[in-house]
A and B are shown apart, each in its own frame.
Chain A
């Protein structure tokens, strides 16, 4: 089992009993979670469960009021998101990832532009930037048609994928994805889920935030459920069937459709990714009927 294999690998990022208070408001209370390299930890929770605060704490926007933050086994403290980014903790935000009016390659390198030449003639290496953008995107399995096209012409799923590819290229060791599938249709969500698996295969630790268990289950190795600012449950995939996740989370989507989508995705894939996708699709199909009858709010 995946879970057993990775037991020996220490977590790359871990928080231990962290709490975050804003004045009298307790946003997080005694929250612990971790992610290992090459694994996906899903962070599930309804609105107001504390997901946003936890992400902002992990990405360096907030400092925890109490508790420990460990990165590669060492305690760390970040004053800004940039510091976290420099250590290899990249956060892709749902809506703030890309600038629609700028071309894909300009977006890709914004803030980390490759340069050539000496000052004062140091310039943005445009040829290199366009080439790398194209190459990195195809490594993630996305073939962009024209790196010059504005990001605004891409679909929501493609935009998220560009943001993920960018984070991976700039050496992300941990990828924090804030509801990357929330605003997307079933098909588009499938696209993003595939890139999460790609990132995972490259040995990156992925923290995938979502309120949709149907998106989390096929890709996750580990599920942390937040409720009202505390950890309600923490499960390895082997220990929790989907319908239990669904009932813990409440709410459901069209399982059949998602199962079908993943099945289709598995055909265009090879190796482990395909196996995992096919496995997930099968699991979905089998559980689709059960889940609809499963008692809600157990």
Chain B
């Protein structure tokens, strides 16, 4: 008994007392260990670069800013979900194909029977298309968990399967792969107000999808930093076996995250169908890579266990910034890919350095 109390007396003071061995790390040094810091620095550098190079082309303007954000929003929505999945240590390469798949599924539901569709009302059509897309995500997840094969391979299969299904189903039912006429569907106006409308600020048109992107980023950040599930996601990505040993439901969590990426694909598909008034089975091509690039540029570790949602959102913003910057300066668009590739490699090198610093702190 005495031993116990004496031992405690030896221990350092109460938690709120400063410990003399904790070096006062300045705010800056502490900030330097955050996963998203590299992305924020890169964002500033890239923006300043284009602000100088494309000054004469009005890069620094409300209109150009609106275009950048409008491009970033759908990619950002995907990147949020992809970041969570990647932090948990898995990939989803099928997310781009799922955008085309979800769009076609929705359009087939609402297209009148005379044109080969199912002629459903908007509400039920959305519910059914959402359900089909989530099942596709569930299918990815259950395969990864039960076969224990790399999700890279499983979802690479998904990339082809879902794209193929979208094209084949559309062609069989309607003999076309582009389906229009969405704006004539009753209820379109409500959906457009929620997902498709543009908000004019100082003469520039901002998509309402930007708000969805920001909202989802905030929600996912809260989940990651302040909830049990967030702790599990970091844990599962860091070491699935250690997490399982302490009672984390590893398989259920991974399957849920695959369903989440499918949900993000559906949300983007719904937004695009609303904006463009129809679907194309080829929509969303290469978005799986762009979303992974956004997450990685944002500081998410490819092997899982580390990263942040804010970082992924910033990564999506950088992506859109470069795309818009190249377009606006009138440089041949072929150079865009060179730029994105270079930024990806630089970001990974820089993030790796930051992470090692965080470990040595």
Q: How many A-B residue pairs have CB under 8 A?
A: 110
In the complex, are the beta carbons of B12 and A143 less than 8 A apart? yes
**Complex formed: what's the CA distance from A122 to B355 in Å?**
30
**Complex formed: what's the CA distance from A110 to B241 in Å?**
12
Say how far B313's CB is from chain A's closest CB, in angstroms.
21
Q: Which A residues are in CB contact (< 8 Å) with B147?
A: none
Identify which of A29-37, A96-104, A242-250, A259-267 touches chain B: A96-104
Q: Which B residues are in CB contact (< 8 Å) with A98?
A: 242
Majority SS at the chain A contact face: mixed
CB of A291 within 8 Å of the partner chain: no
A-B CB contact pairs (8 Å), 14 listed: A96-B239, A96-B241, A102-B238, A102-B305, A106-B234, A106-B235, A110-B243, A111-B235, A122-B228, A124-B227, A141-B7, A143-B12, A145-B21, A270-B6
In the complex, are the beta carbons of A271 and B6 less than 8 A apart? yes
**Complex formed: what's the CA distance from A145 to B238 in Å?**
23
Q: Which B residues are in CB contact (< 8 Å) with A146?
A: 19, 22
In the complex, are the beta carbons of B11 and A138 less than 8 A apart? yes
Q: How would residues 241 to 255 of chain B score, 1 for a CB under 8 Å from any chain A CB and 0 otherwise?
A: 111011110000000
Say how far B296's CB is from chain A's closest CB, in angstroms.
16
In the complex, are the beta carbons of B15 and A130 less than 8 A apart? yes
In the complex, are the beta carbons of B11 and A143 less than 8 A apart? yes
Say how far A219's CB is from chain B's closest CB, in angstroms.
16
In the complex, are the beta carbons of A99 and B22 less than 8 A apart? no
Q: Which A residues are in CB contact (< 8 Å) with B6?
A: 270-271
In the complex, are the beta carbons of A81 and B3 less than 8 A apart? no
Say how far A81's CB is from chain B's closest CB, in angstroms.
6
Q: Which B residues are in CB contact (< 8 Å) with A138?
A: 8, 11-12
Across the interface, A96 reaches (CB within 8 A) one of B3, B22, B234, B242, namely: B242
**Complex formed: what's the CA distance from A201 to B7 in Å?**
12
Which B residues are closer than 8 A to A by beta carbons? 2-4, 6-8, 10-12, 15, 19, 21-22, 222, 226-228, 230-232, 234-235, 238-239, 241-243, 245-248, 301, 305-306, 355, 358-361
| Nearest-CB residue, chain A, relative to B358 | A150
The 8 closest A-B pairs by CB, nearest first: A271-B3, A138-B11, A111-B246, A99-B238, A111-B247, A113-B228, A143-B12, A96-B242
Besides A100-B238, A101-B234, A139-B7, 12 new A-B residue pairs in contact (Cβ under 8 A), listed by A number = A93-B242, A96-B239, A96-B241, A96-B245, A102-B235, A112-B246, A122-B228, A126-B226, A138-B12, A145-B19, A145-B22, A146-B19
In the complex, are the beta carbons of A110 and B231 less than 8 A apart? yes
In the complex, are the beta carbons of A97 and B231 less than 8 A apart? no
A82-B247, A99-B305, A109-B231 given; A139·B8 CB < 8 A: yes
Say how far B303's CB is from chain A's closest CB, in angstroms.
10
**Complex formed: what's the CA distance from A155 to B341 in Å?**
38
Say how far A191's CB is from chain B's closest CB, in angstroms.
15
In the complex, are the beta carbons of B359 and A111 less than 8 A apart? no
CB of A85 within 8 Å of the partner chain: yes
In the complex, are the beta carbons of A110 and B248 less than 8 A apart? yes
Q: Which B residues are in CB contact (< 8 Å) with A228?
A: none
Q: Which A residues are in CB contact (< 8 Å) with B242?
A: 93, 96-99, 110
Across the interface, A201 reaches (CB within 8 A) one of B4, B222, B231, B246, namely: B4
Residue among B8, B22, B222, B242 having the largest count of chain A Cβ atoms under 10 Å: B242
Q: Which A residues are in CB contact (< 8 Å) with B235?
A: 99, 102, 106-107, 110-111
Q: Which B residues are in CB contact (< 8 Å) with A273?
A: 3
Q: Which of A87-141 contact B (CB under 8 A)?
A: 91, 93, 96-102, 106-107, 109-113, 115, 122-124, 126, 130-131, 134-135, 138-139, 141
In the complex, are the beta carbons of A153 and B359 less than 8 A apart? yes
In the complex, are the beta carbons of A106 and B305 less than 8 A apart? no
**Complex formed: what's the CA distance from A175 to B7 in Å?**
21
In the complex, are the beta carbons of A101 and B306 less than 8 A apart? yes
**Complex formed: what's the CA distance from A112 to B239 in Å?**
16
In the complex, are the beta carbons of A112 and B247 less than 8 A apart? yes
CB of A272 within 8 Å of the partner chain: yes
Say how far A243's CB is from chain B's closest CB, in angstroms.
30
| Nearest-CB residue, chain A, relative to B21 | A145
CB of A149 within 8 Å of the partner chain: yes
Say how far A159's CB is from chain B's closest CB, in angstroms.
11
CB of A152 within 8 Å of the partner chain: yes
A99-B238, A143-B19 given; A124·B226 CB < 8 A: yes
Say how far B221's CB is from chain A's closest CB, in angstroms.
13
In the complex, are the beta carbons of A153 and B361 less than 8 A apart? yes
| Nearest-CB residue, chain A, relative to B246 | A111
In the complex, are the beta carbons of B3 and A270 less than 8 A apart? yes
A123-B227, A124-B227 given; A110·B12 CB < 8 A: no
Q: Which B residues are in CB contact (< 8 Å) with A112?
A: 246-247
Say how far B228's CB is from chain A's closest CB, in angstroms.
4
Q: Which A residues are in CB contact (< 8 Å) with B239?
A: 96, 99
In the complex, are the beta carbons of A111 and B226 less than 8 A apart? no
| Nearest-CB residue, chain A, relative to B11 | A138
Q: Which B residues are in CB contact (< 8 Å) with A141?
A: 7, 10-11
Say how far A89's CB is from chain B's closest CB, in angstroms.
12
A85-B247, A141-B7, A143-B19 given; A101·B227 CB < 8 A: no
**Complex formed: what's the CA distance from A96 to B222 in Å?**
28
Say how far B222's CB is from chain A's closest CB, in angstroms.
8
Say how far B4's CB is from chain A's closest CB, in angstroms.
7
A99-B238, A101-B305, A143-B12 given; A115·B228 CB < 8 A: yes
**Complex formed: what's the CA distance from A268 to B7 in Å?**
10
